[in-house]
Amino acid sequence: MVTARRISASDPGAVGEAARCLAEDGLVAFPTETVYGLGADATSGTAIARLYAAKGRPRFNPLIAHVADLAGAKRLARFGTAAESLVEAFWPGPLTLVLPKAPDCPVADLATAGLDTIAVRLPAHPLARDIVHALGRAVVAPSANRSGHVSPTTADHVLADLAARIDMVLDGGPAAVGVESTIVACLDGAPVLLRPGGLAREAIEAVLGAPLAVPDGAGEKSPIAPGMLKSHYAPRARLRLNAREVGADEALLAFGPPPSDAGHARAVLNLSAGADLAEAAANLFSHLRTLDATGATLIAVAPIPRKGLGEAINDRLRRAAAPRPRPEPSATPE
């Protein structure tokens, strides 16, 4: 592949072209309500191998299978009572469920990293669902960026990372939610929050009528959430979190009223001047990219409350600020 074709989502042929490309083991980036996903046919080992290579994603990090409707989800996984009630309340939407694989689940083993569980999501974005529906099979769609980088919320972000590595990007404008889906495992025992995300924990707990459990031994290479790497979502610049003042050559990522010394900053962007967490989530990744592009070596980030979508925002910022590992020996070579 030379350079990805960019197709406007309003082009009447867009969905058909995307589905044809996926059917031929192509890689197609498309908008979902959370971030842009990089789609591949979930039943094709060849397509999934290409996807891991294009992202430089370690193969121990399994993928989320996207479906067009509940019937499609039930061909992949077994739903217990907790899962059924979450689906009823929140699908389609930014909620991924990790469930026991269905006995004849057609998803390629490479997509689930050999686990007997599978992550499934029914996205709210109509374009994402239309593409899956047109293909007629589940589509794996991790964020459309090089592994470890900042996730894309526009088609331009996708092309900046992957133009020479994928076949097509559908441009549907900026993603509305801006952070990845919340992941909840519904296996044996109480539901577990594997990753905070675009659906607030409080909303899920209200439906379950109980607090979400936290993973056993969560973190680096934990078998239950193998992809929750400590360093992820990382810009080139270093991040300094919970900053209440700005250093001389720092860029500032503000939230709410900026500190009085904000004028010293080399550049200032505000996640939400009105301290709205949904607006902050939608702006997070694109503001990180813009500040990174100023050439600042340090980005000071204002404190952000941990409630609601603030839990996901703080999670992404913590990973973006974490020390960067050397490349994984098991990662797919570039």
User: Applying CB under 6 A, which residues contact ligand AMP?
Assistant: 61-64, 98, 112, 115, 117-119, 142-143, 180, 183, 194-195, 224-228
Could you say whether residue 314 binds Mg ion (CB under 5 A)? Answer: no
Count residues contacting Mg ion (CB under 5 A)? Answer: 1
What are the strands, taking DSSP E only, across the chain? 5-8, 28-31, 36-41, 64-66, 95-100, 117-121, 139-140, 168-171, 182-185, 192-195, 238-240, 251-254, 267-270, 298-301
| Binding partner of residue 118 among Mg ion, ligand AMP, none, CB cut-off 5 to 8 Å per kind | ligand AMP
Measured from the CB atom, is 227 or 258 closer to ligand AMP? 227
Residue numbers 113-152 binding Mg ion by CB under 5 A: 143
Q: Closest distance between ligand AMP and the C-beta of residue 207, in Å?
A: 21
What are the b/e assignments for 131-143, b being 16+ CB within 10 Å?
bbbbbebbbbbbb
Measured from the CB atom, is 264 or 319 closer to Mg ion? 319
Nearest-CA neighbor of 181 among 318, 312, 79?
312
| Binding partner of residue 117 among ligand AMP, Mg ion, none, CB cut-off 5 to 8 Å per kind | ligand AMP
Q: Does the bond joining 92 to the residue before it have cis omega, within 30 degrees of 0?
A: yes
| Binding partner of residue 281 among ligand AMP, Mg ion, none, CB cut-off 5 to 8 Å per kind | none
CA distance 315 to 215: 15
Q: Closest distance between Mg ion and the C-beta of residue 2, in Å?
A: 25
- Residue 250 CB neighbours (<10 A): 24
Q: Closest distance between ligand AMP and the C-beta of residue 221, in Å?
A: 10
Q: Closest distance between ligand AMP and the C-beta of residue 61, in Å?
A: 5
Measured from the CB atom, is 17 or 180 closer to ligand AMP? 180
CA distance 253 to 236: 15
Q: Closest distance between ligand AMP and the C-beta of residue 90, in Å?
A: 17
Q: Closest distance between ligand AMP and the C-beta of residue 234, in Å?
A: 13
64-66 and 168-171 strand pairing: unpaired
Instruction: Let me know how long the chain is.
Output: 334
Residues that bind Mg ion (CB under 5 A): 143
